[in-house]
Copies of this chain bind each other. A is one copy, B any other.
Amino acid sequence: MPLPELELIQRIRRAAARGHTNPSHGIGDDCAVLDIPHGHEVLITTDFSLEGVHFRREWHPPDSVGHRCLARGLSDIAAMGGIPRTAFLSLALPADLPQRWADEFIRGLLRLARRYSVTLAGGDTAQSANGILADIIVVGSIPKGKAILRSGAHPGDLIYASGTLGASVATLEKLRAGKKLHPHMHSRHFYPDPRIALARYLSEHKLASAMIDTSDGLSTDLRHICEESRVGAIVDAAALPITRDGNALQLALHGGEDYELLFTTPPNKKLPTEIASVPITRIGAITSGKQIKLQSPDGKLQPLPARGWQHLA
């Protein structure tokens, strides 16, 4: 039986219309029409949330899947220092999926959207032959020329991370071990809060020379900054803001989906220890050359390979 596409669109439209303003023209035309403030550039990011790759139905409640789906896009907007404005959702669902699952998914997504005054303005729906497939598109804006890129880091800049690192994958390891968890007791994994306010502060105060979000894990995301900026880095292992779990250092170095911000600042900039209620920790420095090294507490330097976070693979 084909999915009742029109009904799903109607449900999303009704859900999206409750509680916040729509853009100029919303769901129901061939395109959404957005008015971007004069003097702003448009930021756009797209992120898949695929069953079996980014989430599992038996581990993640549907409102968490919806929350995480949008959080991925919002975190990309934060990584540029931008203001998120509008989201689009392409959603393909198996024909036998209970309607309740879809409703809870949308509820989780819209609850996070409302927190940041983001509208859901359109998307696509389809029936999926295999598993739940979502693709979130988030559109933001930023005053012209103010986007914080990955390519702006210079030797001597200091490297900072927000919050804690490794918390999301620590939860994932518990899930893998078969533990039953209460999602709201492990919110950094199930309901990560993208660092929008922190990023806006960094942008408005011109504090960050380069920035990325830690969606792929510190070792990989720092490599992205270093490659785009053509620099190297030293990470101080003892300084990392890690969780209290057993192999916390490895999780912090290579675990993904923390959606914290990793950024560099010129050495003459003074940073508070907390911005927008999020702790900020200095974890290293940018160097000339191309190598990324980890400094142990005893002072020894070893190469820090980018492990490349593979989600549930």
* Residues of A in contact with B (beta carbons under 8 Å apart): 2, 5-6, 24-25, 28-36, 38, 41-48, 50-54, 75-77, 79-80, 82, 86, 88, 90, 92, 121-124, 126-131, 133, 135, 137, 139-140, 142, 144, 147, 149-151, 212-213, 228, 308, 310-311, 313
Contacts and interface: CB of A to CB of B under 8 A. Distances in A.
Given A53-B92, A90-B135, A313-B2, A43 B33 contact: yes
A146 to B, nearest CB: 10
A139 B45 CA distance: 12
Contact of A88 (B33, B126, B137, B151): B137
Given A52-B129, A127-B53, A137-B44, A149 B90 contact: no
Contacts of A311: 126
Given A43-B32, A44-B32, A310 B2 contact: yes
Most chain B beta-carbon contacts within 10 A, residue among A5, A45, A142, A149: A45
Closest 10 pairs (CB-CB, A-B): A130-B130, A30-B79, A135-B135, A31-B43, A30-B76, A34-B42, A31-B45, A52-B129, A90-B135, A48-B126
17 contacts: A25-B147, A28-B228, A30-B77, A31-B79, A31-B82, A34-B42, A35-B41, A35-B144, A36-B41, A46-B88, A46-B122, A46-B123, A48-B92, A53-B128, A88-B137, A92-B133, A129-B130
